[in-house]
């Protein structure tokens, strides 16, 4: 079990649940990082007494420093602050739970410092998965996935010879709009899209699960984590969200990982791996649930999944473009500026328009990310 962690993104959904797990397992929180000041962040600093707190926003850092004067905490700011928190000596493990490409450099810093990385920041693997995984192999830093599907896959693969794997089957809840037609999708509002049937998550990932882009990003994440080509990763809609993913082996045996949907379990596994410990997650009662159902995703209705497969097979900077265009478009949708189906239209446009660079450097990846954001913002109403 990891004795101490640094938590990047402490006030978000995964961050708060990570603190629940840390408290329950008596794991010390050596550093906390968040995007801006909030009363919650101050509360967390008071409760967990980290030696270091990083606030991305300068003003927020100043405010936290002023309010936490009575505590022995050092407050840092900006990207350098986040990087410092990722490499802090007192932490054995870094939980990266920030949303967006802002997680990329801190994750690399944690890898350079040979920390275990409990990775909950999808964008890092989607945009720069090859660079990140190569660096981890070179330094020997462990990367343990926190995303529930990838944690499930990781758990199914434990103790198996890598070559024996035939397919990874990522399960998807199908989101709140499962079974809807394109016409109906066009009319969906942010309020409707934010009503997820089985998982409690932040707004960005909840919209992504309504468009199925979340599964598309997870498909790319799985390719990088488990060194698999795109065609070896299937997506299966499973509305009960009990089977978190499966692995099919060459003998056609399939292993699955099941639990009630609760992110605290994959978070905890990343901290206790290879061991296990009693958790805050409720026991699974399959008799109570009764039946588990599975169906193929409707790629004709949910175009984002198809776009993600296309970006995955294009490789290079295409996944970064896909991710950045999607992040911008989701933001515009949440602000009520574009329609639900416009999200996939903007992402498709960015993939078609922006030149793909193969074997990109980190700088080229970040440039492609910025270019995609600019394109979406410029095309958007009022942009």
Interaction site with Mg ion (CB under 5 A): 147-149
Structure tokens at 223: 């390719």
Minimum distance, C-beta of residue 148 to Mg ion, in the bound complex (Å): 5
Minimum distance, C-beta of residue 221 to Mg ion, in the bound complex (Å): 9
Instruction: Give the strand pairing for 243-249 and 254-258.
Output: antiparallel
Nearer to Mg ion, 146 or 188 (CB): 146
Count of beta carbons in the 10 Å neighbourhood of residue 337 = 14
Minimum distance, C-beta of residue 147 to Mg ion, in the bound complex (Å): 4
Of 299, 312, 303, 382, nearest to 347 (Cα)?
303
Nearer to Mg ion, 216 or 316 (CB): 216
Nearer to Mg ion, 148 or 257 (CB): 148
Minimum distance, C-beta of residue 363 to Mg ion, in the bound complex (Å): 29
Of 60, 85, 18, 98, nearest to 265 (Cα)?
18
Nearer to Mg ion, 88 or 170 (CB): 170
Q: Which residue is nearest to Mg ion (CB)?
A: 147
Strand order through the sheet with 28-34:
74-77, 52-55, 28-34, 4-8, 93-96, 116-119, 143-145
Nearer to Mg ion, 147 or 371 (CB): 147
Nearer to Mg ion, 84 or 149 (CB): 149
Of 91, 97, 127, 123, nearest to 110 (Cα)?
91
Minimum distance, C-beta of residue 11 to Mg ion, in the bound complex (Å): 20
Of 69, 3, 61, 72, nearest to 35 (Cα)?
61
Minimum distance, C-beta of residue 309 to Mg ion, in the bound complex (Å): 17
Report the distance separating Cα 96 and Cα 121, nearest Å: 6
Minimum distance, C-beta of residue 76 to Mg ion, in the bound complex (Å): 30
Cβ distance 61 to 77 under 8 Å? yes
Nearer to Mg ion, 123 or 147 (CB): 147
Report the distance separating Cα 177 and Cα 3, nearest Å: 41
């Amino acid at each position: 079990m990891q004795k101490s962690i640094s938590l990047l993104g402490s006030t978000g959904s995964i961050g708060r649940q990570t603190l629940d797990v840390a408290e329950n397992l008596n794991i010390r929180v050596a550093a906390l990082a968040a995007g801006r000041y909030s009363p919650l962040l101050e509360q967390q600093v008071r409760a967990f007494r980290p030696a270091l707190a990083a606030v991305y926003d300068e003003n927020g850092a100043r405010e936290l420093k002023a309010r936490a004067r009575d505590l022995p905490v050092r407050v840092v700011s900006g990207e350098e602050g986040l990087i410092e928190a990722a490499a802090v000596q007192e932490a054995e493990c870094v939980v990266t739970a920030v949303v967006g490409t802002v997680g990329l450099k801190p994750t690399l810093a944690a890898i350079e410092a040979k920390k275990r990385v409990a990775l909950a920041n999808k964008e890092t693997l989607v945009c720069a998965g090859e660079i990140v995984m190569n660096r981890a192999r070179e330094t020997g830093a462990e990367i343990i996935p926190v995303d529930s599907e990838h944690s499930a896959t990781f758990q199914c693969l434990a103790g198996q010879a890598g070559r024996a794997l035939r397919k990874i089957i990522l399960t998807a809840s199908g989101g709140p709009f499962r079974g809807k037609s394109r016409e109906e999708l066009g009319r969906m509002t942010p309020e409707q899209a934010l009503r997820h049937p089985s998982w409690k998550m932040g707004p960005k990932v909840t919209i992504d699960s309504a468009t199925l882009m979340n599964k598309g990003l997870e498909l790319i994440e799985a390719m990088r984590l488990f060194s698999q080509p795109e065609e070896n990763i299937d997506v299966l809609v499973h509305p009960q969200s009990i089977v978190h993913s499966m692995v099919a082996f060459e003998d056609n045996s399939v292993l699955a990982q099941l639990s009630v949907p609760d992110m605290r379990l994959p978070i905890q596994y990343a901290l206790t791996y290879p061991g296990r410990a009693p958790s805050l997650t409720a026991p699974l009662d399959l008799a109570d649930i009764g039946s588990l159902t599975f169906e193929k995703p409707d790629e004709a209705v949910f175009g984002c999944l198809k776009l993600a497969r296309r970006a995955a097979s294009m490789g290079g900077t295409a996944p970064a473009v896909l991710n950045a265009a999607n992040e911008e478009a989701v933001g515009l949708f949440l602000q009520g500026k574009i329609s639900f189906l416009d999200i996939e239209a903007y992402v498709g446009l960015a993939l078609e328009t922006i030149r793909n660079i193969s074997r990109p450097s980190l700088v080229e990846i970040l440039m492609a990310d910025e270019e995609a954001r600019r394109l979406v913002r410029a095309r958007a109403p009022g942009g």
